[in-house]
Every structure is written in C-alpha cells, then in structure tokens.
C-alpha cells in the first residue's frame, strides 16, 4: 500500500470524500500554511513559535485535504437553516403584533 493510498483512505474515512475547497483555495491555504509553519520554526522553542507551527500545519492539512470543517459549518448545514426559520417566525410575530393591539 502506497503512502498516497493510505492518505486517501484516511481522508475518505474522516470526511467521506467531501471536498469543499476549490483548487485556488487549496493552493493558497497550503502555501500560506507552509510559510506560517516555517516562521514558527524560525522563532524556535517558544509559545508563539509553537502556535505558528500548529496554525501552519492546520492550513497545510486544509489545503492538502481540500476540506475545511469551518467553511462547511459557515456555508450551511441544518443548523443555519434552523436559525433562519426561527428568525422568520420572529419577524412574522413582530409584523402582526400591532394588529393585535387594535383588536
């Protein structure tokens, strides 16, 4: 089993093959992640260096996998639909509230 197929199998098991990033986003994320991680390495064994290294590694993983859980959460899913539905009900209640006072 090659390293590429191992990575692909792991990716598929974690994200079910769901890619939500375009090629441009993936390239920018990977490049930026490498730059941030390299900056963290230059800082050496410090808290800021460790944080930069972890952020850089997360950006590289995001770019290499093509999946961003944060983007998935922000773009939609059931949670956002429930919020929109609740907001619509509130606005309807407020719209009819003056009518109730006239009765």
Q: Would you list the DSSP string of 27-51?
A: HHHHHHHHHHHHHHHHH-SSHHHHH
73 in the same domain as 28: no
60 in the same domain as 29: yes
**Domain span at 40:** 1-67
54 in the same domain as 32: yes
Report pLDDT digits (tens) over 9-47. 776 666 566 788 889 999 999 999 999 999 999 988 899
In this predicted structure, what is the pLDDT of residue 78? 42
Handedness of CA 44, 45, 47, 49 (dihedral sign): positive
20 in the same domain as 59: yes
62 in the same domain as 76: no
50 in the same domain as 73: no
12 in the same domain as 62: yes
The whole-angstrom separation of Cα 10 and Cα 101 is 61
- For the entire predicted model, the pTM comes to 0.58
Per the structure, the count of domains in the chain is 2
């Amino acid at each position: 089993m090659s390293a590429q197929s191992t990575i692909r199998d792991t990716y598929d098991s974690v994200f079910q093959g769901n890619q939500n990033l375009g090629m441009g986003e993936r390239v920018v994320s990977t490049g930026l992640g490498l730059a941030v991680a390299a900056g963290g390495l230059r800082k050496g064994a410090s808290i800021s260096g460790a944080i930069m290294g972890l952020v850089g590694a997360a950006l590289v993983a995001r770019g290499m996998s093509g999946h961003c859980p944060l983007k998935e959460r922000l773009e939609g899913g059931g949670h956002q639909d429930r919020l929109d539905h609740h907001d619509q009900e509130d606005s309807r209640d407020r719209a009819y509230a003056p009518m109730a006072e006239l009765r």
